[in-house]
A = this chain, B = another copy of it.
Amino acid sequence: MTDDIQMTDDIHMSDDSNMAEDILIHNGLLLTMEKGLPVIENGAVVIRDTKIHGCGDNLDLSRKNILDSNRIDAGGGIIMPGLVNCHTHVPMSLFRGLADDLPLDVWLNEHIFPAEASQINPDSVQKWSRHSAREMLLSGTTTCCDGYFLEAEVARALAESGIRAVAGQGVIDFPAPGVPNPAQNIQAAKEFVKNIRKLSSRITPSIFCHSPYTCSKETLVAAKQAAEDAGILFQIHVAETQNEIQMIDGLDGRSVIAYLDDLKLLNQRTLLVHSVWIDDADIEIIRKRSARVAHCPESNMKLASGIAPVQKLLDAGVVVGLGTDGCASNNDHDLFSEMDMAAKLQKVSCMDPCAMDARRCLAMVTIEGARAIGLDRQIGSIEKGKQADIIIVDVDKPHMVPMYDPFSSLVYSAKSSDVSMVMVDGILRVREGKLI
């Protein structure tokens, strides 16, 4: 396995003048999530400023210059990349558990939409975005890919919280919080992108069209064009429910995926959220266009939307990340339970215990998740030069013993509360399971 480990010469240079200020994470089982998924038994990572400076085996032995106060002892836990949540609406933690176990139309029309109309404003969006950031950081998530209205407020709150995010300004053909005149949605999204770029290196702007049934053909095309002009991710809810197809004008017998493809909306900077009701021909289109998919199994289950054919997407080579969706339909931001449920749901729906194995699943919340949202050059694995988004998972708990395979343990046994340390951009955000 060690052949796969990136180990550069400069990391051993004792004349390295910055060494004293480096941070060392050591004494853990290191899963870098690099190609080949190496497992490094007694692993260590060196962080310089915001980035990973090196990683490998027993590096601590050669890093005597590092200050004691800069050494983080993983205590035999698992050192791994921070988790990537590919689909959130973070202000919606305000609506966590507001109205559960109801028919979809009652839930939306009688509870969620009225609550949004009366309670969503810049202050509440900031407050509950910060709240969600705390929840995510505590549970090992270092990046989320969000989409909502008033997203500039979301972005500001997430930037302050220290989490990394792709922030998608919502576009919809109805009056919405922040953009009462839908004719101005595209212009508002363009302004958002321009402004957010200045906010923080951790926040990447995006444009998020709500869906093909709430956005006209013209809106979809203009929004994607704006995203392409800016070279950023375009997100859209698609094929979430079986009857969505009846709500879209102009399909002319085509599938939703074929319709979006004909509008030239699909490429590697397009994130198709949900993608539950897609068939083999749709999967072939998605593959051909290199579009990305965000799979949100808990939301799809709780709302009884359906089961996405994720194993088929993976078999076709499509990049799939995992998302929790908003807290109104999950009801949390916990990627550990999402992994467990994703794997088990796919196994039972395929009637194949080999479907969605633990390695695949862990990749979907790390390197594949990063790839799905266009951040795989920056994050998603522990490799020299990437941003230092790293977590430690405590394994000294009865439910984590014995540990025959760390991937299995993380997917099928670990809980988000086992996360003891969280670092984003080299900055400690959680220590001993508590927010700093």
Contact = CB atoms under 8 A, between A and B. Distances in A.
B398 A347 contact: no
A301 B345 CA distance: 6
Contacts of A330: 412
Q: Which of A104, A135, A306 has its CB near the most chain B CB atoms (within 10 A)?
A: A135
B134 A301 contact: no
B302 A100 contact: no
Contacts of A94: 402
Contacts of A397: 138
A249 interface: no
Interface string A293-314: 0000010111111110000000
Given A348-B304, A399-B139, A103 B413 contact: no
A404 B413 CA distance: 29
Contacts of A354: 101-103
Contacts of A341: 340-341, 344
Contacts of A350: 304
Contacts of A96: 401-402, 404, 413
A14 interface: no
Contacts of A305: 348
A279 B26 CA distance: 55
Given A398-B131, A413-B332, A353 B408 contact: no
A337 interface: yes
A135 B298 contact: no
A353 B415 contact: no
Contacts of A93: 398, 401-402
A358 interface: yes
A353 B104 contact: yes
Interface in A139-155: 139
A51 interface: no
Interface residues of A, number: 64
Contacts of A357: 100-101
A409 interface: yes
Given A300-B348, A347-B304, A348-B306, A97 B413 contact: yes
Interface string A342-361: 01110110111111011000
The listed residue with most B CB atoms (<10 A of its CB), out of A357, A398, A405, is A398
Given A345-B345, A398-B131, A408-B331, A353 B97 contact: no
A358 B100 contact: yes
Contact of A334 (B104, B343, B351, B399): B399
Nearest 4 A/B pairs, CB to CB = A417-B417, A301-B344, A135-B398, A101-B357
28 contacts: A93-B398, A96-B402, A96-B413, A97-B404, A97-B413, A98-B404, A100-B405, A102-B353, A103-B354, A104-B353, A134-B398, A135-B399, A138-B397, A138-B398, A138-B399, A301-B344, A301-B345, A303-B347, A304-B348, A304-B355, A330-B412, A331-B408, A331-B412, A331-B413, A332-B399, A415-B415, A415-B417, A417-B417
Interface of A: 93-94, 96-104, 107, 131-132, 134-135, 138-139, 298, 300-307, 330-334, 337, 340-341, 343-345, 347-348, 350-355, 357-358, 397-399, 401-405, 408-409, 412-413, 415-418
